[in-house]
Amino acid sequence: MVRALYPGSFDPIHNGHIDIALRAARVFDEVIVGVYDLPKKKLVFNVQERVKLAQQAFEGVTNIRVAPFSGFTVDYARQVGALVLVRGLRVFSDFEFEFRMGLANKRLAPEIETVSIMTDDRHVALSSSTVREIAELGGDVTSMVPDFVGAALKARYAELNALEK
Ligand code: ADP
């Protein structure tokens, strides 16, 4: 039984993330989508909201579960018994970052392997920050995220814009 951890901020989860998790779930027995609670990024959704949206995305997928985590990714991987860290690879610029992080994680936890899955070409330019920027300006994100994520973004930016007034 090989359990994999797919960690990230998922602010919010988008079709690129969903594709990677579903493909990982075909390779590994179980995939835990680990939602990092406090990344060094400005967040639109808090950790419970990000977990909830990710849970909705994988409803009915029996070997994917979603959970929040904090601290070192490898510590959480050990805690849940994951032998593999799954990462998605988009454009070439992701490579250097992922390579450095993979080496650092290997030094911290030599028994854990990082497996990078190449993005589907439909999602090559997709990131949560792009989705957020488009949604913030009231643009159409229907080809990038599930409908319930689009609705959550719309509601959140309506709240934020109302606060600014
Ligand atoms: P982002 O804000 O860039 O979407 P995350 O921290 O939420 O970043 O990403 C979690 C993981 O998902 C990372 O391994 C990242 O490389 C991967 N990922 C992000 N976007 C895509 C995509 N469009 N296709 C494949 N993998 C992706």
Residue type for 157, please?
Y
| pLDDT for the residue 6 | 98
pLDDT digits (tens, 9 = 90+) for 118-152: 999 999 999 999 999 999 999 999 999 999 999 99
Which one of 3.40.50.620, 1.10.10.920, 3.40.190.10, 3.40.50.1010 gives the CATH number of domain 3-124?
3.40.50.620
Helices (H), the chain: 15-27, 47-57, 73-80, 92-108, 128-136, 147-164
* 125: three-class secondary structure by DSSP: coil
Mean pLDDT of the region 41-64: 96
pLDDT digits (tens, 9 = 90+) for 84-122: 999 999 987 889 999 999 999 999 999 999 999 999 999
CA of 95 to the centre of ligand 1 (A): 12
Task: Provide DSSP, 74-99.
Answer: HHHHHHHT--EEEEEE-SHHHHHHHH
Query: Cα(29)–Cα(63) distance, rounded to whole angstroms?
Result: 7
Q: Which residues have C-beta atoms less than 6 Å from ligand 1?
A: 8-10, 16-17, 20, 87-88, 90, 94, 119, 123, 126-129
Query: Is 42 considered catalytic here?
Result: no
Is residue 164's pLDDT more than 80? no
Stretch (H or E) spanning 3: strand 3-8
CA of 165 to the centre of ligand 1 (A): 33
Which residue among 14, 17, 87, 132 is the active-site one?
Answer: 17
**Domain ranges, ordered by start, for the chain:** 3-124
- The C-alpha angle with vertex 88 and arms to 20 and 135, in degrees rounded to 5, equals 80
pTM over 0.85: yes
9, 11, 17: residue to mutate for ligand 1 pocket, most atoms within 8 A of CB: 17
Query: Is 123 considered catalytic here?
Result: no
